[in-house]
Chains A and B, each alone.
Chain A
Amino acid sequence: MSALAAVQQQFVGWLRDSDEGVAAAVSPQAQRGLPVYHYAYRASLRACLRETFTQTQAWLGDDQFDAAADAHIAARPSTSWTLSSYGDGFADTLASLYPDDAEVPELAVLEWAMRRAYDGPDGTPLSPEVLAQIDWDADPLAVVPTFVQWPVRTNADEIWQALAAGEGDIPAPQWLAEPCVIGVWRQGFDPRFARFDREDSRALMRLAAGASFGTICAELAAQADDAEAAVAQAASMLQRWIAYGLLDGATGSRGG
Chain B
Amino acid sequence: MQPSPFSGFGLGMRVPHYSAFVAGSVPVDFIEVISENFMVAGGRPLHVLDTVRSHYPVALHGVSMSIGRTERLDPEYLSRLKALAARVDPLWVSDHLCWTGVAGFNSHDLLPVPLTEEALARCATNILEAQDALGRAMLIENPSSYITFAADHISEWDFLVELTKRTGCCLLLDINNIFVSSHNHGFDPNTYLNAIPTSRVRQIHLAGHSAGRDGLLIDTHDHPVPDPVWSLYAAHIGRFNDVAVMIERDDDIPPLDELLGELDHARALARCPTSVAATAVASTPAMAA
Contacts and interface: CB of A to CB of B under 8 A. Distances in A.
Contacts of B44: 118-119, 189
A4 B105 contact: no
Most chain B CB atoms below 10 A, which of A7, A25, A120, A122? A7
A192 B36 CA distance: 24
A45 interface: yes
Most chain B CB atoms below 10 A, which of A119, A186, A189? A119
Interface in B62-89: 64, 66, 69-70, 74, 76-77
Interface residues of A, number: 46
Contacts of B41: 119-122
Interface in B203-219: 212-216, 218
Interface string A25-42: 111111111111100110
Interface stretch (A59-67, A74-82, A134-142): A74-82
B39 A82 contact: yes
A7 B114 CA distance: 9
B8 interface: no
A8 interface: yes
Interface string B121-154: 0100000000000000000000001111111100
A153 interface: no
A120 B45 CA distance: 10
Given A4-B122, A32-B214, A118 B43 contact: yes
A12 B102 CA distance: 8
A186 B103 contact: no
B103 A41 contact: no
A120 to B, nearest CB: 5
Given A79-B105, A119-B43, A189-B44, A2 B118 contact: yes
Interface string A6-30: 0111011001100000001111111
Interface of A: 2-5, 7-9, 11-12, 15-16, 24-37, 40-41, 44-45, 48, 77-84, 117-122, 186, 189
